[in-house]
Structure 1
Amino acid sequence: MLNSQEAVLLPDSPRLTTNNFDLLRLLFAGTVCLVHAYQLSEYQPLAWIDSVLSTRVAVEAFFVVSGFLIFMSYERSSSNTTYASKRIRRIYPAYFVAVMLCAVGLLGVSSNSVTDYFTVSWVGYVVANLSFLNFFQHTLPGVFETNPVNTVNGALWTLKIEVMFYLSVPLFVMLFRRFGTLAVLAIAYVGSISYVVLFAWLAEKTGDSVYLRLGRQLPGQLSFFCAGAFFYYQLKFFERWAGYFLAGAILVLIFDSYWLFPLFEPFALATVVIFFALFFYLGNFGKYGDFSYGIYILHFPVLQVFVHYGWLADDPWLYLAAGALTTLVMAVAMWHLVEKRFLLRSSHYVSASRSPVEKGGDPK
């Protein structure tokens, strides 16, 4: 995709092949699962989870990792077609299965009859969700009506943003070549922050929380993606000054508890995430596969089913353990039966499964 003169400018480091990205994604997905276990059940013994862990931070960290790895994947692709193929193979097969498992499998949970279940509303759910437009239809007929939350799979809202990020990468790289990487990333970053601040102001001004929800959509999350991209393209500089970057980021995040630093918070979070991804290697967590995606797209309906039937409601801790374990088992099955079968041979996970240290495979 690049000529030889441009390719020389791309970062090259052993940390691009020996890192903790797989572990971090697993931790982020697990965080979202644990927090949702409380939020969906409202079992008070689990309330501490919601005060200690944050789905918002976990999702933002996911976007940081995507910014780093997706730009690297694009730069290593031989063409736009190859890049698109890798992205579709990685994200859509499992996504399709997750949507259809809910659409068909949750008939048994619905309070409606078969004829009242497979209606226009059901078709609307399938079409909206398979096209990543989850906000158009997030419920199924008669499903989870008595649950505190009746959304079938509330975790899927981030996937449309992820897909938009994928689509934006070729445009970003084209602009990088024309105007410079730092200039383009800075403009996109500040524009994203400005969008978030504007909608936060509108929410406060009007008292309408819909503006806060809109602020979480694109381009509100773009700052995290751009911050991740910055650390990929400026990897050598970051490696040289990593300690200073980390110290500054920690200060920003600490003082953010007292003063709002919207301009610096995404970059500070990205600094911490990328630092722990690249330094202090903890082992090949991709050796047996990437279960983080399966955990993320499956945990919500799994937990909803537990809540619907009241399984282990008298023992919230056992409910938490059983829900998490069920999700993990399903994620492992999703990996081996669906996800792995669509990957190219150049995939990181194909090579990682053969060796403790991945050697040259595509990062995502």
Structure 2
Amino acid sequence: MKIISPRLRQNNFDLIRLLLALAVCLLHAHELSGTSELGIIDTLLSGKIAIESFFVISGFLIFMSYEKSRSLSDYFEKRARRIYPAYVVSVALAAILLSSISERSLAEYFLSSEFVRYLGFNLGFLNFLQPDLPGVFTEHRLTAVNGALWTIKIEVMFYLSVPIIVWLCRRVGRVRVLLTLFIASTVYSLIMFHLHESTGRGMYFQLEKQLPGQLRFFIAGAAIYYLLPFFERHVKWLVLAAGIYFLVRLQFEVEALRPIALGIVVVFFALYNYVGNFCKFGDFSYGVYILHFPIVQTMIHFGAYQANAWLALLTTVVLTLCGAALMWHCVEKRWLLKNSHYVQAGKEKQGNRPDVSAAPR
């Protein structure tokens, strides 16, 4: 089912994703460095909300992408081209370049089983099985090379599940399927939270962060996409209700309503108050997300955050943005199909108006 809406032709999804990726970068800089000077970052930003917002946006855009795909193979090809080339480069670059700061010799480093395991597991989206490189960041608060990659495997699992979900929606009914998945995901998340609090075992906290628990945010984004005409007709009341929820949650949290409220707010800012065709410059959000963590870790290794936390943070952001721009122009853009809306967006420079609703991400 294709949703026709003029607002889908002009949206702020790319800009929002970039801002969310930068927020995660700032939060990781503070968390990994442990410098008290950067404590205000945790006060102003929330990594949890940033990640959940990413999942909402993915739910909205990936279901739209699937509905616009010519075939199942077309859908999977778009997903693979968008995600995997830059992912491979980021994993490989870290594995190669960080050999220069390893405590081990080059021979010990490249011939070690940890190095082989790192490449194998990380290239297969299983970074949790080997997050470290031999002799790298061993004295850090967290030794993982790229702790941000855990969300990528959740995205990939979601991509794989979308065709199944859409098939069920067409056979059983969209409302019934999406509501069932939303409720099941919320119940799973609440059970994991309860087990974590009652036993104190971190395993349950980690399990809650996986796809079953995060699926409700994807489903919230998908539901808004399918109900977009209703959303547009009642947007003022929906945003008001979401605002009330976020005020009330300061005193009383209703976990089941959070994905819905967050989805309303995110999609509202994406589709209303258009700020311009930001994607004509490229989509740097993915590069920022997959590159920032090892850059932060490397800055910590050289003592930059201990010397001057704010200057180190500024340097980290600049290096990350430069790396993301290079990743986009040298890797990501080259793998996109010609009908990608990022390719079409470049035509604006020649005076043509692109259809940015075509094949998002």
For 2:76 and 2:346, how far apart are their aligned partners in 1? Answer: 23
Superposition pairs of residues 72-91 of structure 1, within 5 angstroms: 72-91=64-83
| 2:170 counterpart of 1:164 | no
Question: Does the Cα contact within 8 Å between 1:349 and 1:361 map onto a contact in 2?
Answer: no
Code of the residue aligned with 1:324 in structure 2: it is V
For residue 51 of structure 1, report the CA deviation from its aligned partner. 2.0
1:315 to partner: Cα distance:
1.5
Please state how far the C-alpha of 1:24 moved relative to its aligned partner.
Answer: 0.4
Q: Number of residue pairs matched?
A: 356
> 2:318 maps to which residue?
325
Greater CA drift, 33-42 or 249-258? 249-258
- CA drift of 1:304 comes to 0.5
Greater displacement, 110-119 / 26-35: 110-119
> Equivalents in 2 of 1:108, 1:60: separation in Å?
35
* Alignment counterpart, residue 122 of structure 1, candidates 115, 121, 124: 115
Secondary structure (helix, strand or coil) at the match of 2:348 reads coil
* 1:312 shift after superposition: 5.2
How much does 1:361 deviate? 2.8
Counterpart code for 1:224:
F
Stretches of structure 2 lacking an aligned partner (at least 5 in a row): none
Which has the larger displacement, 257-266 or 61-70?
257-266
Partners of 1:312 and 1:200 lie apart in 2 by 34
Residue of structure 1 in register with 2:359 after alignment: 362
TM-score by length of 1: 0.96
Letter in 2 for 1:281: Y
Query: For 1:180 and 1:243, how far apart are their aligned partners in 2?
Result: 28
Pick aligned residue for 1:230 from 223, 229, 235: 223
Letter in 2 for 1:52: L
The structure 1 residue matched to 2:6, chosen from 14, 37, 47, is 14
Q: Could you say which residue in structure 2 is the equivalent of 1:131?
A: 124
1:228-274 per-position Cα deviation (integer Å, ceiling 9, x unaligned): 00011010000000111111111112211211201101111111001
The answer as to whether partners of 1:286 and 1:349 remain within 8 angstroms in 2 is: yes
The root-mean-square deviation of aligned C-alpha atoms, in Å, is 1.0
The equivalent position to 2:283 in structure 1, one of 274, 286, 290, is 290
Tell me, in whole angstroms, the C-alpha distance in 2 between the residues paired with 1:98 and 1:24.
Answer: 22
Distance 1:331 1:285 in 2: 15
Runs of 4+ in 1 over 6 A off after TM superposition: none
Match 1:266 to one of 255, 259, 277: 259
Q: Which residue of 2 aligns with 1:3?
A: none
Unaligned runs of at least 5 residues, structure 1: 1-6
State the partner residue of 1:257.
250
Q: What residue identity is the alignment partner of 1:279?
A: Y
The match for 1:106 among 90, 98, 101 is: 98
Aligned to 1:299: 292
What residue number does 1:39 align with?
A: 31
Q: Give, in whole Å, the separation in 2 of the partners of 1:55 and 1:109.
A: 29
Contact 2:33 2:305 (C-alpha < 8 Å) held by counterparts: no
Contact 1:203-1:210 within 8 A present in 2 as well: yes
Counterpart of 1:50, as a letter, is D
Which shows bigger deviation, 48-57 or 286-295?
Answer: 48-57
Q: How does 1:58-73 map to 2 (within 5 A)?
A: 58-73=50-65
**Structure 2 contact 158–211 (Cα < 8 Å) conserved:** no
Shift of 1:145: 0.7
Residue identity matched to 1:352: A
- The answer to whether residue 184 in structure 2 is matched with residue 188 in structure 1 is no
Work out whether residues 18 and 358 of structure 1, in 8 Å CA contact, stay in contact via their aligned partners in 2. Answer: no
What per-residue deviation string (whole Å, max 9, x for no partner) do you get for residues 74-101 of structure 1? 0010000000000000000000000000
User: What SS does the corresponding residue of 2:125 show, helix, strand or coil?
Assistant: coil
Q: Specify which structure has the higher proportion of helix.
A: 2
Structure 2 partner of 1:93: 85
CA drift at 1:67: 0.4
Over residues 167-220 of structure 1, what are the superposed CA-to-partner deviations in whole Å (9 max), with x where a residue is unaligned?
A: 011001101111111111111001101011001110111111221111011200
1:4 counterpart residue number: none
Alignment partners' CA distance in 2, 1:239 and 1:90: 29
Report if the CA contact (8 A) 2:14-2:278 is conserved.
yes
